[in-house]
Amino acid sequence: MRNEIRTIGIIGSGQMGSGIAHVCSLAGFEVLIHDVAEDRIKSALATINGNMARQVASQKITESDRNAALDRIKPAPDLDALTAADLVIESATEDEAVKRDIFASLQPVLKSTAILASNTSSLSITRLASASAAPESFIGIHFMNPVPVMELVELIRGIATSQETFESAREFIARVGKTIVVAEDFPGFIVNRILLPMINEAIYTLHEGVGTVDAIDTAMRLGAHHPMGPLQLADFIGLDTCLSIMQVLYEGLSDSKYRPCPLLVKYVEAGWLGRKAGRGFYDYSGDTPVPTR
């Protein structure tokens, strides 16, 4: 029998990793955060603290909930600390080579009953699982960004994922309070298979001069009732992430309709990666974002 999941290891303390740590700790799990740079872990803990403080202010959680949750999160600067984890969620950059290196490094660390999951937004779970010591204990658990706010998690089985692993992951997500959709192991899964081509098409619409940044985003907010325009959303996701997902779709499905827009490629080459870089389809240097086209 597989052990009950009590302790969660998280690899990568960026926006997604810190968000996963946030919701897991509030759900009562012990959390261990690992990153290659210790200062990133400190930054993640500060972000979680601030986000929970906002939840207290809006009366979504109590001050005692926040304090208890923060006490459950521990930094794990060395991978060896993840020996205690019942479930390890990899949330590193969307680069298959990086992820495979992480899984290989984890092999001597994980206990035999541990589940290993990837928060990948588009890469093959079957292929990633082949880099782990136990593909039957590997699964895709794709949280949406921002994790504390978004209600959905995609659960993706690789070809070798056992039913026991699947059920354990399903129970874990339910305890975190998220809604599950099960996706087959195809490039982009469900959400990004639909969302990213829409964003890519919005960038083509800009590239071809059909509308300005403001016109495109206003059209989709007011004309399709989207809460955020597609170019604003691309900046929020990160244009490098958008490009990598489109490349996975294009290469994995061999269909020209998934070809990344040349303008998206240019922005990434220029380092204009969106909100995190201070510039993308909007310039974020002032008090209010200003369209760059």
Active-site positions read 121, 142, 154, 192
- CA separation for the pair 51, 47 (Å, rounded): 6
- CA separation for the pair 93, 26 (Å, rounded): 25
Closest CA to 121 of 100, 145, 98: 145
Give the number of other CB atoms < 10 A from CB of residue 270: 12
- CA separation for the pair 27, 197 (Å, rounded): 34
For residue 50 the two structure tokens come to 């601030």
- CA separation for the pair 248, 135 (Å, rounded): 22
DSSP 73: E
- CA separation for the pair 153, 171 (Å, rounded): 12
3-state SS assignment for residue 183: strand
Where is 164: in which H helix or E strand? helix 163-176
172-182 burial code (b ≥16 CB/10 A, e <16): bbeebebeeee
Instruction: Map tokens 């690789």 to a residue.
Output: 158
How is 228-286 classified by DSSP, letter by letter?
S-HHHHHHHH-HHHHHHHHHHHHHHH--GGGPPPHHHHHHHHTT--BGGGTBSSEE-SS
38-39-43 Cα angle (round to 5): 120
